[in-house]
A and B are shown apart, each in its own frame.
Chain A
Amino acid sequence: MKSKATLFFNAFLVIVFVLAFTLPASAGKTYKLGMSLAITGPTSDAGNPYAKGAEDWFKFVNETDYLGDGDKIDCPIRDDQYKNDTTKRFFEEFLDDGILIFLSYATGGNLALKRDFEEVQIPVIPASYHEGLIVDANYTFMPVATYSENAVGLAEYITENHQGDNIPQVAFFIHPSAFGRGPLEDTQKAIAEGMKIEIVEVVEHGTDLDNTAMLQRLVSKGVQYVICQTVQTPVATMLTDAQRLGVTAGSFGEKGKLTFLGAHYTGGSDLIALAGTATEGYIWADSYNLTSENNEGAKKQLELAKRYDRDDKAANSHNYGAGILAAQIATEAIKMAKSADLKVTRENLYKMLQKMNFNSFVAAGPVTYSETERIGVDVQNIYIAQDGVFKKIQSFESQYIQKVRAGR
C-alpha cells in the first residue's frame, strides 16, 4: 500500500517537473491566419515568390519572438491554382479554423468573395491591387497603390515629360480581364477629368508569341507610348519583338518609336530575366523597394531570404517583397492589438488596421490606413531598366486618381 502511494507521489512529482519545463515554452498564444494563392498554375510566377515572402516573414516572427510573450502566428498557405471555387473552399476552411485575417490573392478570387468578406467581417489583405476590390468594401486592406494608380500615374508621368506640342499618343496593352481593364477605365476617366493624353488603341493580348503586326500598326498610327497592365510574360514577348523590329525608343518619347511603360505586375527582375536587353528603357511603376537599389530595406529583404535559403530569383523578386509586406501588415495589426491590451480578435484587428502606420523595409513608403483610407502605401516609385537592373527615377503620388475616385 505504502509503495503504491510512493509510486503515485513520484509520478505526480514527475508530471509537475515536466510541466514546469514545458509550460513556459507553450505559454504563448497562437494566432491563426490563412493564406490562399496561386503557388502553381496561372500567375504562379508572381504567386510563388509571394508565398515564399509571407512564409519567411511568419517564420521570422515565430523564431525571433517578434510578437513577444512567446506568441506565434500560424498561417497555413494553400495553393488555389488561381481557381475561384478552390479559393472559396479554402476560405470556408480557414473560417472553420477561426482565422483572424485572410491573406488572399487574385483579382477574380477577391471579387468573387467580396460579399463573404463583408458578411463575416474579416479583414482581408489581397495580393491583387485592383481598384474594384476596395469599392463598397470595408474589410479589404490593399497593401499598396492600386493598378489604376499605377496606370494613371504613368499617364501623368508621360504628360509631364513628353517633349513636343502634340498631345501624347498612347496605346494600352492589357490583360483580357478585369485586372487589365479596370486601370484602362480609370485612365479614361482621368482623361475626362482633363488629363492631356490620347488613347489611340487598346490591345487585349492573347497568347500570341509574335507581336510584329501589332507593333507596326501602333507605330503607323503615331503611337509614342505603350502603357502595359498585364503580367510579365506578354510584356517580355512584346519588348523582344519591338527590339527585333527596331521600334523601341532610345530615349523617353523618341518620335517614331515606342516608349514602353507598365504597372506593378509587368516589371521587376523577372521581366529582365525574360526579355534581357530588350527591357532597356522600360519604365515601371511600383510601390516596392527593389533589391537593385541596394539600400537598407533591400539588404533586410536579402537577409531574410538568405536566412531561409531562398534562391536569388526569389530573393530579388518584388513579389517576394509583396508577400513579406502582406504578412507584415497582419503581424503589425496583432502587435498593435497586444500593445493596446486588447484581445486579439477579428474585431480588434479590424480596429487596429484602421489606425495602422508603420514603415516596412520592402515598401516605397509608410503603410497607413484610416477609417476611410483602404490603401496602405500611396507612394509609387518610377523605375527605369538600365544595364540589366531597375533604377529609381522618382517617387510620387498620382493626383488624377483622386479626382477619378471622387467621381466614382
Chain B
Amino acid sequence: MSQNRWLATGNFFTSYKQEQRTFFTHLDRTIFTCFLVILFGWPLVFEISNKYMLVLDNILIAIVAVMGLNLLLGFAGLISIGHAAFVGIGAYSVASVCQVIGENHVIVTHFWPVLIVCAGIMGAIFGAFVGLPALRLKHLYLAIATLSFQMIFEWFIQFMSFFNQGQTIYVGRVHWFTGQVGRSDHYLFWYYIILTLVVVLGFGVRNLLKTKYGRCLVAVRDNDRAADAMGMNPGLTKVYAFALAGFFAGVAGALHAYLYRGVGFESFTLHASVGYLAMAIVGGLGTLNGIFWGPVAIKFLDIQVEQFSEFVGQYLTSAPNVATALKPLSFGLVIVLFLMYEPRGIANWWRIVKSYTKLWPFRY
C-alpha cells in the first residue's frame, strides 16, 4: 500500500493483515466518523416529527433484519423465504414474556436490553432448527422448506390463544436512566438505540467476514464440495448461517415489538418476507453496504409511491384503484429491473462512485 495513509491510489498491500483492515485509509475512517457524528447528532439540531422518526426507526429495524438475511443469502448462498417469521420469533419472544409476567413487569420495562438479546438467541435457535433441512436441500427445495416454516409460524400464531390469536399483545414502555421513556421521546429514544445496534452489528458482520467463520460462509457459498475438501464442515456452516440470520432477525423483531409497543401477527407475514428479500436484492447481495442501501431504497420507494398515489388522487376520481395498482407494480418493477440490469444492487453504484473518486482524475 502507498505510504500515504490518507489516500490510496492502488493496491499496495504487502500482508494479509493490511488487507483485513476495517478502513483502508485514514480518509475512509474520517468520513465514516463524520457520517456517524451526523447520524447521531442531527436529531439534536433539527426537530423531526414523530411520523418521520417512526419511518427512520423502521428503516433501521429493517437494516438489522436484512443484515441477517444478507449473511444467509449473500454470503452463505442459502435462501430463506421465511425471514419475517424469524423476525416474528423475536417479537413474539418479547410478547410471550409480556403474556406471562405482564407488559409492565420490571423485566420488560427495565431489562429490555437483556430481552432483546434473548429474543435474538431465540431467533438463532429457531434459525438453526429450520436450517437443518439445509444439510440435505438446495435452491428451490430449500426455499420451499423455509416457506413452510413461514406458514407454520403464521398458523401457530393465529390459532394459539397464548399468542392472542394474532391480535396485538401489548408491550410496556421502557425505562432509561432518566426514568420512563414517555410518548414524546419514544421514537427518538429508539432511534438512538437501534442506530447504536446497527453500528455495533455492522462492525460485527464486518469483522465476522474477516474470521475463519466468515470465510467459511463464503467458501461454502462458492463451492461446498471444495470447502469440504479443504477441511470445512459445509453442513455445520449452513446451520450456523441460518442461526446467525435468525439471531439478527430475532433482534429486529424485539426492536419492532418495543418500537410499536405491541406485537401483532400482520407485521410478520409472507408479504413482509418478500419485502426483506427485495431489500437484500436491491441493496446488493453479498455486500456490507448493500445491507443499508436496500431497506432505505425500498422503504423510501414505498412512501414516495404512496404520496404519488395521493397526488394522482387529486386529478382522478378512481384514485383508490390507481393506488392499488401502483404499490405492487412499483415494488415488483424495481425488483425485476434490478435483477435484469443491476443484479449487484445499489452497492455496485456505491463501489463505482467510490473507485471513481479514488482514481480521479485518472480513468484507470
Contact = CB atoms under 8 A, between A and B. Distances in A.
Contacts of A41: 324
Contacts of A120: 183
A51 B266 CA distance: 22
Contacts of B323: 39-40, 79
Nearest to B303: A89
A247 interface: no
Contacts of B266: 82-85, 108
Contact of B320 (A40, A85, A107): A40
A108 B264 contact: yes
A134 interface: no
A89 B55 contact: yes
Interface string B302-344: 0000000110000001001101100100000000000000000
A45 to B, nearest CB: 12
Interface residues of B, number: 29
B151 to A, nearest CB: 12
Q: Which 6 A-B pairs have the closest CB atoms?
A: A40-B324, A93-B51, A178-B167, A39-B320, A96-B49, A92-B50
B92 to A, nearest CB: 15
A111 interface: yes
B264 A177 contact: no
A68 interface: no
Interface string B338-361: 000000000000000000000000
28 contacts: A39-B320, A39-B323, A40-B323, A51-B320, A78-B310, A79-B309, A79-B320, A79-B323, A83-B266, A84-B168, A84-B266, A84-B267, A85-B58, A88-B54, A89-B55, A93-B51, A96-B49, A96-B51, A107-B167, A108-B167, A108-B168, A112-B264, A115-B262, A120-B183, A176-B158, A177-B165, A178-B164, A309-B317
B105 interface: no
Contacts of A39: 320, 323
A210 B100 CA distance: 40
Contacts of A114: 168
Contact of B261 (A48, A85, A96, A115): A115
A273 to B, nearest CB: 18
B54 A92 contact: yes
Contact of B165 (A78, A93, A181): A181
B292 interface: no
A112 B262 contact: yes
B202 interface: no
Interface size class of A (residues with CB under 8 A): 20 to 34
Nearest to B164: A178
Contacts of B58: 85
A61 interface: no
B168 A112 contact: yes
B166 interface: yes
Interface string B22-64: 0000000000000000000000000001110011001000000
A112 B267 CA distance: 11
Interface of B: 49-51, 54-55, 58, 158-159, 164-168, 170, 183, 260-262, 264, 266-267, 309-310, 317, 320-321, 323-324, 327
Interface in A92-129: 92-93, 95-96, 107-108, 111-112, 114-116, 119-120
Contact of B50 (A78, A95, A108, A177): A95
Given A40-B321, A88-B54, 13 more contacts: A44-B324, A48-B320, A79-B320, A81-B327, A84-B264, A84-B267, A96-B49, A108-B167, A112-B260, A114-B168, A115-B170, A120-B183, A177-B165
A48 B262 CA distance: 28
Contacts of A89: 51, 54-55
Nearest to A177: B166
Contacts of B324: 40-41, 44
Interface in A165-186: 176-178, 181
A12 to B, nearest CB: 36
Contacts of B165: 177-178, 181
Contacts of A93: 49, 51
Nearest to B269: A83
A378 B50 CA distance: 37
Interface in A1-57: 39-41, 44, 48, 51
Contacts of B327: 81
B291 to A, nearest CB: 21
Contacts of A81: 327
A177 B51 contact: no
A227 B167 CA distance: 23
Nearest to B309: A79
Nearest to A83: B266
Contacts of A116: 183, 261
B267 A96 contact: no
A242 B68 CA distance: 49
Contacts of A108: 167-168, 264, 266
Contacts of A107: 167
Contacts of A48: 320
Counting chain A CB atoms within 10 Å of each CB, which of B58, B264, B267, B317 scores highest? Answer: B264
A176 B165 CA distance: 9
A18 to B, nearest CB: 27
A119 B183 contact: yes
A114 B164 CA distance: 15
A184 B183 CA distance: 35
A89 B51 CA distance: 6
B87 to A, nearest CB: 12
A92 B51 contact: yes
A83 B324 CA distance: 14
B81 to A, nearest CB: 20
A40 B165 CA distance: 24
Instruction: Give the interface centre of A40, A41, A108, A177 by most chain B CB atoms within 10 Å.
Output: A40
A163 to B, nearest CB: 36
A41 B165 CA distance: 21
A116 B58 CA distance: 18
A140 to B, nearest CB: 14
Interface in A149-200: 176-178, 181
A174 to B, nearest CB: 11
Contacts of B261: 115-116
B118 to A, nearest CB: 23
Nearest to A179: B167
